[in-house]
């Protein structure tokens, strides 16, 4: 499956599509994945436009990427998880489907092939 031609996360951010929101602030939104791969599977998404893949990381926006890690810690607290896994698919060749940077926050029961 290739990358979607539209940003479904934008629809969630704008409340045009429903989502089970776990955490939200002015800059990020975190919501449960509709096809979970673990007992806890939350997507952490920056709200601002322009970041399609991690290849769009530059010195002037690196704080956005750091914020993803801070939100992951908040999600862990909300979900009462001591440990967790973060996964990011980068670009279509890396398995990315939605054209917006995001983390997959997964509980430790997720079995990674690593």
Active site members = 102
CB under 8 Å to 113, separation ≥6 — which residues?
Answer: none
Tell which residue, 97, 105, 76, 106, has the closest CA to residue 6.
Answer: 97
Residue 102: what are its φ and ψ, rounded to 5°? -165, 155
CB under 8 Å to 13, separation ≥6 — which residues?
Answer: 29, 45, 47
């Amino acid at each position: 499956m290739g990358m979607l031609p539209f940003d479904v996360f934008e629809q969630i951010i704008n409340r045009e599509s429903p989502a089970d929101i776990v955490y939200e602030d002015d800059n990020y939104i975190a919501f449960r994945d509709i096809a979970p791969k673990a007992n806890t599977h939350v997507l952490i998404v920056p709200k601002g436009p322009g970041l399609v893949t991690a290849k769009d990381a530059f010195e002037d926006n690196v704080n956005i990427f750091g914020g993803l890690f801070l939100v992951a810690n908040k999600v862990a607290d909300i979900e009462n998880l001591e440990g967790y896994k973060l996964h990011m698919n980068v670009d279509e060749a890396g398995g990315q489907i939605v054209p917006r940077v995001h983390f997959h926050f997964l509980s430790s029961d997720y079995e990674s092939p690593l």
